[in-house]
Amino acid sequence: MKEIRQLGRHSYVFSPYLEPIASVQPGEEFVIYTKDAFEDQMVSEQQKPTEVLGEYLNPQTGPVYVEGAEPGDTLKVNIIDIQPTRDWAVSLFIPFFGGLTSTHATRTLQEPLPERVFIYKIEDGWVTHNNRLRFPWRPFLGTIGTAPFLEALSALTPFDHGGNMDVPDVKPGNSVYLPVNVEGALLFTGDCHAGQGQGELCGVALEVAARSTLSVELIKGKKVRWPRIESVEEYMVVGSARPMEDAARIAYTELVEWMTELGWDKWEAYQALTQIGDCYVGNMVDTYYSMVAKIRKEYVHP
Amino acid sequence: MKEIRQLGRHSYVFSPYLEPIASVQPGEEFVIYTKDAFEDQMVSEQQKPTEVLGEYLNPQTGPVYVEGAEPGDTLKVNIIDIQPTRDWAVSLFIPFFGGLTSTHATRTLQEPLPERVFIYKIEDGWVTHNNRLRFPWRPFLGTIGTAPFLEALSALTPFDHGGNMDVPDVKPGNSVYLPVNVEGALLFTGDCHAGQGQGELCGVALEVAARSTLSVELIKGKKVRWPRIESVEEYMVVGSARPMEDAARIAYTELVEWMTELGWDKWEAYQALTQIGDCYVGNMVDTYYSMVAKIRKEYVHP
Amino acid sequence: MKEIRQLGRHSYVFSPYLEPIASVQPGEEFVIYTKDAFEDQMVSEQQKPTEVLGEYLNPQTGPVYVEGAEPGDTLKVNIIDIQPTRDWAVSLFIPFFGGLTSTHATRTLQEPLPERVFIYKIEDGWVTHNNRLRFPWRPFLGTIGTAPFLEALSALTPFDHGGNMDVPDVKPGNSVYLPVNVEGALLFTGDCHAGQGQGELCGVALEVAARSTLSVELIKGKKVRWPRIESVEEYMVVGSARPMEDAARIAYTELVEWMTELGWDKWEAYQALTQIGDCYVGNMVDTYYSMVAKIRKEYVHP
Amino acid sequence: MKEIRQLGRHSYVFSPYLEPIASVQPGEEFVIYTKDAFEDQMVSEQQKPTEVLGEYLNPQTGPVYVEGAEPGDTLKVNIIDIQPTRDWAVSLFIPFFGGLTSTHATRTLQEPLPERVFIYKIEDGWVTHNNRLRFPWRPFLGTIGTAPFLEALSALTPFDHGGNMDVPDVKPGNSVYLPVNVEGALLFTGDCHAGQGQGELCGVALEVAARSTLSVELIKGKKVRWPRIESVEEYMVVGSARPMEDAARIAYTELVEWMTELGWDKWEAYQALTQIGDCYVGNMVDTYYSMVAKIRKEYVHP
- How do residues C17-43 score in pLDDT, each as one tens digit? 999 999 999 999 999 999 999 999 999
C244 touches chain D (CB under 8 A): yes
User: D141: Cβ–Cβ under 8 A, 6 or more apart, which residues?
Assistant: D34, D79, D82, D170, D171, D189, D190, D191, D192, D193, D212
B152 touches chain C (CB under 8 A): yes
Main-chain dihedrals φ then ψ at residue B265, nearest 5 degrees: -70, 140
Q: What's the confidence (pLDDT) of residue C9?
A: 84
Main-chain dihedrals φ then ψ at residue B125, nearest 5 degrees: 80, 10
Cα(C238)–Cα(C233) distance, integer angstroms: 16
Q: How far is A63 from chain D (nearest CA, A)?
A: 15
Q: In 10 A of CB D109, how many CB atoms?
A: 21
| pLDDT > 80? residue D115 | yes
A252 touches chain B (CB under 8 A): yes
Closest C-alpha to B87, from B160, B227, B194:
B194
Flag whether D131 is in a domain: yes
Tally: H helices and E strands in chain B: 4, 21
For chain C, helix, strand, coil in percent to 5 are 10, 40, 50
Indicate which CATH number applies to the domain containing D213: 2.60.120.580
Flag whether B75 is in a domain: yes
| pLDDT > 80? residue B8 | no
Whether residue C152 contacts residue C21, with contact meaning beta carbons closer than 8 Å, is answered with no
Residues of D whose CB is below 8 A from A151: 13, 151-154
Count of pairs with CB atoms under 8 A, one residue in A, one in C:
32
What is the number of domains present in chain A?
A: 1
Collapsed DSSP state (helix, strand, coil) of residue A44: coil
CA atoms within 13 A on the CB side of D70: 4
Cα(A218)–Cα(A214) distance, integer angstroms: 14
Main-chain dihedrals φ then ψ at residue C186, nearest 5 degrees: 60, 80
Enter the DSSP assignment of D250.
Answer: H
Flag whether C124 is in a domain: yes
Residues of C whose CB is below 8 A from A106: 106
Cα(B32)–Cα(B61) distance, integer angstroms: 8
N-terminal to C-terminal alpha carbon distance within chain B: 39
Flag whether D182 is in a domain: yes
Q: What's the confidence (pLDDT) of residue D8?
A: 80
| pLDDT > 90? residue D60 | yes
Torsion angle, alpha carbons of B102, B108, B110, B112, to 10: 30
| Cα angle B61-B66-B68, degrees, rounded to a multiple of 5 | 165
Whether residue A114 contacts residue A90, with contact meaning beta carbons closer than 8 Å, is answered with no
Flag whether D57 is in a domain: yes
Cα(C64)–Cα(D53) distance, integer angstroms: 57
Looking at the partner chain, which of B13, B243, B250 has a beta carbon nearest the beta carbon of C107? B250
Percent of chain B with pLDDT over 70: 100
User: D70: Cβ–Cβ under 8 A, 6 or more apart, which residues?
Assistant: D180, D183, D220
Q: What's the ipTM?
A: 0.98
Which chains border B (3 or more CB–CB pairs < 8 Å)?
Answer: A, C, D
Domain membership of residue B105 as a residue range? 2-231
Q: Which of residues 56-95 of D touch C (CB under 8 A)?
A: 91, 93
In this prediction, residues D167-193 reach a mean pLDDT of: 98
Q: What's the confidence (pLDDT) of residue A7?
A: 79
Q: Do C275 and D299 touch (CB under 8 A)?
A: no
Q: What's the confidence (pLDDT) of residue B9?
A: 81
Question: Helices D266-276 and D244-261: crossing angle, nearest 10°?
Answer: 120
C242 touches chain B (CB under 8 A): yes
- The alpha carbon of residue B167 and the mean position of all alpha carbons in its chain are separated, in whole angstroms, by 5
Looking at the partner chain, which of D151, D246, D250 has a beta carbon nearest the beta carbon of A152? D151
Which chains border D (3 or more CB–CB pairs < 8 Å)?
Answer: A, B, C
Q: How far is A54 from chain B (nearest CA, A)?
A: 23
User: C203: Cβ–Cβ under 8 A, 6 or more apart, which residues?
Assistant: C94, C97, C98, C99, C285, D274
Q: How far is C56 from chain D (nearest CA, A)?
A: 23
In this prediction, residues D226-244 reach a mean pLDDT of: 98
Whether residue A129 contacts residue A194, with contact meaning beta carbons closer than 8 Å, is answered with no
Q: Do D110 and B113 touch (CB under 8 A)?
A: yes
Q: Which residues pair with D199 in a beta bridge?
A: D283
Q: Which of residues 204-233 of A touch B (CB under 8 A)?
A: 204-206
Beta-sheet pairing, A116-123 with A158-159: unpaired
Cα(D240)–Cα(D226) distance, integer angstroms: 9
Q: Which residue of D has its CA nearest to A57?
A: D150
Closest C-alpha to C129, from C195, C83, C191:
C195
Residues of B whose CB is below 8 A from A135: 275-276, 299
Count of pairs with CB atoms under 8 A, one residue in B, one in D:
32
Q: Do A113 and C112 touch (CB under 8 A)?
A: no
Cα(B148)–Cα(B179) distance, integer angstroms: 9
B107 touches chain D (CB under 8 A): yes
Q: Do B108 and C253 touch (CB under 8 A)?
A: yes
Q: What's the confidence (pLDDT) of residue D173?
A: 98
Looking at the partner chain, which of C114, C205, C270 has a beta carbon nearest the beta carbon of D202? C270
Q: Do D109 and B100 touch (CB under 8 A)?
A: yes
The helix (H) or strand (E) run that includes residue C64 is strand C60-66
Cα(C183)–Cα(D15) distance, integer angstroms: 62
Q: Do A102 and C110 touch (CB under 8 A)?
A: yes
Whole-number mean pLDDT of chain D? 97
Flag whether C246 is in a domain: no
Cα(D282)–Cα(D251) distance, integer angstroms: 11
Residues of B whose CB is below 8 A from C256: 109
Whether residue C249 contacts residue B106, with contact meaning beta carbons closer than 8 Å, is answered with yes
Residues of C whose CB is below 8 A from B149: 55
Exposed (0-12), middle (13-18) or buried (19+): which is A8, by Cβ within 10 Å?
Answer: exposed
Flag whether A82 is in a domain: yes
Looking at the partner chain, which of C102, C109, C243 has a beta carbon nearest the beta carbon of A108? C102
Closest C-alpha to A287, from A6, A58, A39:
A58
Q: What's the confidence (pLDDT) of residue C220?
A: 98
Beta-sheet pairing, C126-128 with C116-123: antiparallel
pLDDT, one tens digit for every residue, chain C (302 residues): 999 999 778 999 999 999 999 999 999 999 999 999 999 999 999 999 999 999 999 999 999 999 999 999 999 999 999 999 999 999 999 999 999 999 999 999 999 999 999 999 999 999 999 999 999 999 999 999 999 999 999 999 999 999 999 999 999 999 999 999 999 999 999 999 999 999 999 999 999 999 999 999 999 999 999 999 999 999 999 999 999 999 999 999 999 999 999 999 999 999 999 999 999 999 999 999 999 999 999 999 99
Q: What's the confidence (pLDDT) of residue D210?
A: 98
From the first residue on, what is the mean pLDDT of each consecutive set of 10 residues in chain A (302 residues)?
A: 90 96 97 97 97 95 98 98 98 98 98 98 98 98 97 98 98 98 98 98 98 98 98 98 98 98 98 98 98 98 96
Whether residue B79 contacts residue B176, with contact meaning beta carbons closer than 8 Å, is answered with yes
The helix (H) or strand (E) run that includes residue D261 is helix D244-261
Looking at the partner chain, which of B106, B107, B150 has a beta carbon nearest the beta carbon of C13? B150
Question: Helices B244-261 and A244-261: crossing angle, nearest 10°?
Answer: 110
Q: What's the confidence (pLDDT) of residue C19?
A: 95
Which chains border A (3 or more CB–CB pairs < 8 Å)?
Answer: B, C, D
Q: Which of residues 122-141 of A touch B (CB under 8 A)?
A: 127, 129, 131-135
A15 touches chain D (CB under 8 A): yes
Q: Do C289 and D195 touch (CB under 8 A)?
A: no
Q: Which residue of C has its CA nearest to B149?
A: C55
Flag whether D85 is in a domain: yes
Enter the DSSP assignment of B276.
Answer: H
Q: In 10 A of CB C202, how many CB atoms?
A: 28
| Cα angle A112-A115-A118, degrees, rounded to a multiple of 5 | 145
Residues of D whose CB is below 8 A from B116: none
In this prediction, residues D41-70 reach a mean pLDDT of: 97
Main-chain dihedrals φ then ψ at residue C244, nearest 5 degrees: -60, -35
One-letter amino acid of A219: I
Main-chain dihedrals φ then ψ at residue C161, nearest 5 degrees: -85, 0
Q: What's the confidence (pLDDT) of residue C8?
A: 79
Residues of A whose CB is below 8 A from C102: 102, 108, 110
Whether residue A90 contacts residue A192, with contact meaning beta carbons closer than 8 Å, is answered with no
Cα(D268)–Cα(C114) distance, integer angstroms: 12
Tally: H helices and E strands in chain D: 4, 21
> Is the previous residue joined to C26 through a cis bond, with omega within 30 degrees of 0?
no
Torsion angle, alpha carbons of B75, B81, B85, B91, to 10: 80
Percent of chain B with pLDDT over 90: 98
